[in-house]
């Protein structure tokens, strides 16, 4: 019974994910057309919409692979993916989020992605209380995490550690993301597309 419920929920989530991809594509096309008139605002919204389809499909495939063997884990991941998509929908209409909201979004992203990497990604997020309620551009942390994992994961079962520190320095919010991976010289990981522009958008 529980497995059947998980499968039904998974089917519904697949439909939602497909709708999300279509809306993301349409929104991205529209925002690209607006970039000449409103370059900064358009680029910020473009960054917010860049949840890559490959991530959704790989996550759904990972969930499907454990529905029979571990329905409880599959259910947990479905809930996390639902929260992940909800965050994206909510902040597609808003340019900013609080640091604590970004922290929660990063947690969902890392836990979902870690399934694809066999649990070899380890992270710790330190969020100082004096910056938790401060507002930053929405979906700012996720592209950096994606880049760390893309270039940092190693062959075999070697773990990847990603410490994340969010603090405040006077009027500025300082977010430091590190990893102990191979670095940019490592081969491309098959779980990611060969090229992307998320970090370029953050710099701009």
The model's confidence at residue 200, banded by pLDDT at 50, 70 and 90, is low
pLDDT of residue 21: 63
In angstroms, rounded to a whole number, what is the distance separating the alpha carbons of residues 11 and 30?
A: 29
pLDDT of residue 72: 87
Residue 93 or 127, more confident: 127
What does the pLDDT look like over 32-78, one tens digit per residue? 555 555 555 555 555 544 556 778 888 888 888 888 888 888 888 88
Residue 52 or 118, more confident: 118
The model's confidence at residue 201, banded by pLDDT at 50, 70 and 90, is very low
Q: Which residues contact 57 (CB under 8 A, 6 or more apart)?
A: 17
Residue 78 or 201, more confident: 78
Residue among 85, 111, 115 nearest 24 (CA): 85
Q: Which H, E and C letters describe 2-51, residue by residue?
A: HHHHHHHHHHHHHHHHHHHHHHHHHHHHHHHHHCCCCHHHHHHHHHHCCC
Residue among 130, 115, 119 nearest 84 (CA): 115
pLDDT of residue 41: 55
Residue among 95, 163, 103, 89 nearest 132 (CA): 103
In angstroms, rounded to a whole number, what is the distance separating the alpha carbons of residues 125 and 128?
A: 10
**pLDDT over 90, % of the chain:** 26
pLDDT of residue 29: 57
pLDDT of residue 43: 52
Kindly give the pairing relationship between strand 96-98 and strand 135-137: antiparallel
Cα 129-140-123 angle, rounded to 5 deg = 65
* Alpha carbon separation from 99 to 129, 140, 175 (Å, rounded): 10, 10, 9
Q: Is the pLDDT of residue 88 over 60?
A: yes
pLDDT of residue 204: 47
Q: Is the pLDDT of residue 197 over 80?
A: no
Average of pLDDT values for 2-27?
Answer: 64
**pLDDT over 70, % of the chain:** 63
The model's confidence at residue 187, banded by pLDDT at 50, 70 and 90, is very low
End-to-end distance of the chain based on CA atoms, in angstroms?
50
Cβ count near 15 (within 10 Å):
10
């Amino acid at each position: 019974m529980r497995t059947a419920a998980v499968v039904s929920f998974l089917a519904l989530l697949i439909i939602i994910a497909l709708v999300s991809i279509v809306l993301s594509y349409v929104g991205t096309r529209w925002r690209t057309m607006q970039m000449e008139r409103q370059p900064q605002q358009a680029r910020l919204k473009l960054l917010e919409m860049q949840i890559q389809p490959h991530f959704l499909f790989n996550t759904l495939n990972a969930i499907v692979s454990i529905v029979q063997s571990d329905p409880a884990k599959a259910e947990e991941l479905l809930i996390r993916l639902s929260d992940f998509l909800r965050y994206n929908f909510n902040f597609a209409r808003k340019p900013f989020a609080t640091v604590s909201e970004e922290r929660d979004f990063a947690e969902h992203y890392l836990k979902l992605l870690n399934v694809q990497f066999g649990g070899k990604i380890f992270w710790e997020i330190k969020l100082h209380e004096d910056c938790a309620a401060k507002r930053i551009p929405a979906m700012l942390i996720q592209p950096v995490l994606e880049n760390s994992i893309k270039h940092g994961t190693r062959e075999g079962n070697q773990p990847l550690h990603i410490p994340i520190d969010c603090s405040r320095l006077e009027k500025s919010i300082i977010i430091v993301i590190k990893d102990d991976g191979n670095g940019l010289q490592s081969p491309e990981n098959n779980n990611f597309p060969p090229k992307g522009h998320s970090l370029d958008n953050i710099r701009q």
